[in-house]
Structure 1
Amino acid sequence: MHRDFAEQHMHTILARLAGTGAVPRADQVDAVHAVLQPASRVLVVQATGWGKSAVYWAATHAIRSTGAGPTLVVSPLLALMRDQVNAAERAGLKAATVNSTNIDDWDDVFEGLDADAIDVLLISPERLGNPRFAARLGALLARVGLIVIDEAHCISDWGFDFRPDYQRLARALLSTPTASVLATTATANQRVTQDIGKQLGENTVTFRGTLARTSLTLSVVPGLSPLQRYGWIADALDQLPGSGIVYVLTVAEAERLTAFLRSCGHAVDAYSGQTDADTRLKVEERLRHNQVKAVVATSALGMGYDKPDLGFCVHMGSPSTPVAYYQQVGRAGRAVDHAEGVLLPSDADERIWDYFATASIPDPQT
């Protein structure tokens, strides 16, 4: 397919998502063009806010216009899936999701797929382990025109501890002989990029841009005791711009810090892997509409949560790696000129990560 075909569909999607004056980046059009080649393998590594999702919506729009099957998007978080369903519909695509919270809707979704009435199906990696879904996977894979692996660093070895399902997923989905595969991520250093490319196959086309973010100011406040860190955050919430996220390393810390900040009069919510699905949705919406100053969160609120005007990310405790820090702080400053990223490290951070790491990132041979 010619590049101008890709460009035409990219313009259509961008106009719907960002307004009629929106102009695509050259790499966006080239990435769509690469995806539209038969059974292609494409990896896009670009900064948060660059417009990776616009690439797969435009590619889907183009593929569907030729009469090919739907796009299957594999996405790691429910918050991210909800945002993506909304974005796909804004782009003029009929989107649906099959996940653990909407089991009653599955039959309707499957009927829609059978009737070719759905353009985009979003699933989490865990669906592959569900017998009811797995039974339908073969027929679905025979029909899909494009497979998108979002947050693709999760299929590399440093993502192994986060989602082992991604490893199974890569093997299952990459075996499809007819569909194109697009993998996207904002957090892949050179080694991870090469690792993903190797898993996608030797003919993988990679588009990698700068991951620098001019809107973010990063700073570190070292040497504080645990009590001083609580006090620093309580004072800082009066001065930090807009609303934001305060990241902590454990569920217990999220609950403790939230209770303390509320006692200081701050409007804050807690968010962790222990937070139930309904509450998560409410907390995400409160943050999105600036009804809270901050959400005190573990890494459960991270990849893909989209609030373009998020004003700050404060880390009470260091994430496990610089790449994990980049992933989390990248939530802020997407559509504002200035956002703050502040790290409050602790002497205990390394011990916590040593504990979490006991079973993670195995040797590739193992």
Structure 2
Amino acid sequence: MAVVPRTVHAEASAPAAGGGALRVRAQELLRTLAGPGAVLREDQWQAIDALVTRRRRVLLVQRTGWGKSAVYFLATALLRGEAGLGSADLGRRTGPTVIVSPLLALIRNQAAAASRLGIRAGEIHSGNVTEWDEVYAALRAGELDVLLVGPERLNNPTFRDDYLPELAATTGLLVVDEAHCISDWGHDFRPDYRRLRTLIAGLRPQVPVLATTATANQRVVEDVSEQLDAGAGAGSGAGPDAVAVSGTLVLRGSLDRESLRLAVVALPRAEHRFGWLADRLGELPGSGIVYTLTKAAAEELTAFLRGEGYPVACYHGGTEAAERIAAEEDLLANRVKALVATSALGMGFDKPDL
């Protein structure tokens, strides 16, 4: 019977204590990743310890900006390159981390930051089919630490038959990003994600699994936990704020973000909204993102703003892979005033001056 997880209100700025040499190394890696002032929080350490030392299955329900990507990149660095840190298992180099995410733009963005840790990443998605063999050759040769996979690949017959069995057999850590997409009780259920049960069930014993989301009610938490439990037994606990749900460790925090502000400007028609934006976009400092609900709206607004003299780029699910990557790079380098994007870009793009 599932144990209902309680919300964890961890001290956001509290330094992590305990854990010996592994924890010290995790703190050092975090400073390399995020800057000299970065402090490993208690809740982040709980997740890393559960993955690296206990080889647990973990569900992280934490707000955007909490540092979920830091958890899986630090865990990857520790599992792939750190030996002799307090566990016999840590003396053996594990296989690569596989990250399944529908938001490859965000993961690419985060992986670029993780390169500061020496983490090498490759991608498998619908936009680079001709590169799959090259990526897999690098993976087999031990030249990649992270493989980024779009969830639609899990339903692709070629990927499922030719690549998935070997991937399941060699993975050292599986990360499921936007994990609420697993659950048909969630607001963004994606059928491709149901194939994850097959991938998870094919993992070797003691391969840790991390699922992350910033949006999940209790029903979704229980459903996702059940999916993660495929082929796994219940493990030991990982601290007083950790709650085991059918073998899955659930770490749940407040989703409130005090730095965010919401304002609504009610305008009757699209042309009024376009005009309002054109009048004010130039007043805003730096570069940013304008989200639209549909691909058509993104294209129409991009054309309008370009006509008004603004350097903007369009970004949605139908944009060619090379164009997407170029648009992401242009945004990071402030070569465009804005990306006009659908939710294909995601909502957690890492750009300090966004």
- The reply to whether TM is greater than 0.5 is yes
Q: Distance in 2 between matches of 1:118 and 1:258?
A: 37
On the 8 A contact 1:147/1:180 being kept in 2, the answer is yes
3-state DSSP of counterpart to 2:335: coil
Q: Give 1:150 shift.
A: 1.2
Out of 45-54 and 110-119, give the one that drifted further.
110-119
Q: Give 1:215 shift.
A: 1.9
Q: What corresponds to 2:170 in structure 1?
A: 143
1:279–1:209: structure 2 CA closer, same or farther, 3 Å change rule?
A: same
Counting aligned pairs with the same residue, the percent is 54
On the 8 A contact 2:164/2:199 being kept in 1, the answer is no
Matches within 5 A, 1:292-311: 292-310=336-354
1:140–1:295: structure 2 CA closer, same or farther, 3 Å change rule?
A: closer
Alignment deviations for residues 312-340 of structure 1 (CA, whole Å, 9 cap, x no partner): xxxxxxxxxxxxxxxxxxxxxxxxxxxxx
On the 8 A contact 1:10/1:54 being kept in 2, the answer is no
Q: What corresponds to 1:114 in structure 2?
A: 140
Question: Which of 33, 43, 46 is the aligned partner of 1:17?
Answer: 33
Q: Distance in 2 between matches of 1:236 and 1:192?
A: 40
Q: What corresponds to 2:327 in structure 1?
A: 283
1:237–1:121: structure 2 CA closer, same or farther, 3 Å change rule?
A: same
Q: What corresponds to 2:278 in structure 1?
A: 234
Q: In the comparison of the two structures, how many residue pairs are matched?
A: 309
1:47–1:241: structure 2 CA closer, same or farther, 3 Å change rule?
A: farther
Alignment deviations for residues 263-302 of structure 1 (CA, whole Å, 9 cap, x no partner): 3333322222222222222222222222222222222222
Question: Which of 99, 106, 122 is the aligned partner of 1:96?
Answer: 122
Q: What corresponds to 1:331 in structure 2?
A: none
On the 8 A contact 1:13/1:54 being kept in 2, the answer is no
Question: Which of 180, 187, 197 is the aligned partner of 2:208?
Answer: 180
Matches within 5 A, 1:2-151: 3-64=19-80, 65=82, 66=90, 67=92, 68-134=94-160, 135-151=162-178
1:279–1:111: structure 2 CA closer, same or farther, 3 Å change rule?
A: closer
Q: Distance in 2 between matches of 1:169 and 1:247?
A: 29
On the 8 A contact 1:39/1:177 being kept in 2, the answer is no
Question: Which of 194, 200, 215 is the aligned partner of 1:167?
Answer: 194
Whether 1:243 aligns to 2:270 is no
Q: Give 1:249 shift.
A: 1.7
Q: Give 1:216 shift.
A: 1.6
The two structures, once aligned, show a CA RMSD in angstroms of 2.5
TM-score, with normalisation over the residues of structure 2? Answer: 0.78
1:219–1:306: structure 2 CA closer, same or farther, 3 Å change rule?
A: same
Matches within 5 A, 1:195-274: 195-201=223-229, 202-274=246-318
Q: What corresponds to 1:339 in structure 2?
A: none
Which ranges in structure 1 are unaligned for 5 or more consecutive residues?
A: 311-366
